[in-house]
Structure 1
Amino acid sequence: MIAPFVVAVTGPPGSGKTTLSRALAERLGGAPVLSYDAYETITGWPPERGAAWLADGAPFDAVPVPGLAEDLARLRRGEPVPDRERGGTLRLARRGARPVIVLDTLLGRAHPGTGTQIDHLVWLDLPLDRALARKLRSFTEEARRDPSAAPGFLAALDAYLGRYDTLLHPTYALQRDRVRPSADQILGAGTLAEHLAAIESTLDSIFHATLTAAPTA
């Protein structure tokens, strides 16, 4: 079996990485999507623990994502893994002759466990103010879909904004400084369709080059 190719999509929260990851997986023949959000536990930390982590230099290798690196490695070996985001099971799919895995992550290559398994890293280069606006919009959209749950979403929004200045914004700035430089492809302003086309074109070139470089029997 040809080794699976891992495409990671990253960017600040609100940049659209999850939407792009899911759309890209569909375009790549139903590729499995592993989502950082389904594994992370840092959002459950009490504020004082988050502040201590940030004061200690915010080491990304200390960000807990239990099971993510292991599940990614298993998929790369061709083994099925549980879909912790949607339920069911994730299995390899192929783009032509090449199996592909999509990793939806905040950490890119800055996290040792998963970073070393990434073949192509896409960074969504959205300014933090626009990313914040999109993130806030996600709260209001959820509240509109289920008005009865609006008080809970309002409390979540209040908690998010309460941490933004002292913890979240500094962390997102560090993410940009540490993750963006190792990106293989940086996408700025553009539509979802334009981003998909740009990634597909790049992957086609990579896969073609890999095939033409492969030794013949």
Structure 2
Amino acid sequence: MDDFSGPETLASLQLDAWLDAGGDFNLMDVSRFCDALATLKTGTSPVEVALIEAPLGRAHAGSAALLDTLFWIDIPFDIAMARNFLALYHQNTPPPPAWFQGYLTQYLKVTRRVLEHQHRIVRPRADHVLDGRLPLSVLADTVMKLIT
């Protein structure tokens, strides 16, 4: 969850119906995110470089115009899920087993379809595709070389 997650984001859509209708990312209201990004670029204290996570990438017209360089960190879904589960497991209070059961049920029902759709639509619009299986330090070094 972040400052821009809310009822207007992907999570609130009826995901099955949204995907069946073509999964148009422009149906999401991400105006607060776009406003914040525009402020970073042109506001009273613009920043030279801002690294942000933008799951919609350039697939959403509103955010597409504000992204100078888009990196896609390409990682197999199973590895991403395993890393997330390990991070959750190592929290001070890991989620109970019932949470994992609910998560996996939802993953099989719709989340995987959403990830596949994102991979098909967002990934091809990236300027750089990085191998997410590489160590974080290698990814960070690669990004820094590409943006400086």
**What RMSD in Å do the two structures reach over aligned CA positions?**
2.2
Higher strand share: 1
Q: Where do 4+ consecutive residues of structure 1 move more than 6 Å? A: none
Once the two structures are superposed, the pairs formed by residues 48-197 of structure 1 within 5 Å of their partners are 49-79=14-44, 92-93=46-47, 99-142=48-91, 145-146=92-93, 150-151=95-96, 154-188=97-131, 189-197=133-141
CA separation in 2, counterparts of 1:44 and 1:173?
Answer: 16
- In structure 1, the gaps of 5 or more residues are 1-35, 80-90, 94-98, 205-217
TM-score by length of 2: 0.84
CA separation in 2, counterparts of 1:43 and 1:180?
Answer: 17
| Structure whose CA Rg is larger | 1
CA separation in 1, counterparts of 2:103 and 2:10?
Answer: 10
CA separation in 2, counterparts of 1:137 and 1:58?
Answer: 30
What is the DSSP-based 3-state SS (H/G/I as helix, E as strand, rest coil) of the residue aligned with 2:49? strand
Quick one: structure 1 residues 165 and 193, their matched pair in 2 at CA, closer, same or farther if it must change by over 3 Å? same
More displaced 10-residue stretch of structure 1: 194-203 or 157-166: 157-166
CA separation in 2, counterparts of 1:160 and 1:63?
Answer: 23
- Deviation of 1:38 after TM superposition, in Å, equals 2.8
CA separation in 2, counterparts of 1:92 and 1:192?
Answer: 27
Letter of the aligned partner of 2:4 in structure 1? Y
Letter of the aligned partner of 1:57 in structure 2? G
* Native 8 Å contact 2:10 2:28 kept in 1: no
CA separation in 1, counterparts of 2:11 and 2:67?
Answer: 26
- In structure 2, the gaps of 5 or more residues are none
TM-score by length of 1: 0.60
Once the two structures are superposed, residues 178-197 of structure 1 have per-residue CA deviations (whole angstroms, 9 ceiling, x without a partner) of 11111111111311111111
What is the DSSP-based 3-state SS (H/G/I as helix, E as strand, rest coil) of the residue aligned with 1:186? strand
* Native 8 Å contact 2:31 2:62 kept in 1: no
More displaced 10-residue stretch of structure 1: 133-142 or 169-178: 133-142
* Native 8 Å contact 2:74 2:130 kept in 1: yes
Quick one: structure 1 residues 138 and 38, their matched pair in 2 at CA, closer, same or farther if it must change by over 3 Å? farther
* Native 8 Å contact 2:39 2:46 kept in 1: no
The structure, 1 or 2, with the larger RCO (C-alpha pairs under 8 Å, 6+ apart) is: 1
State the aligned residue count.
Answer: 145
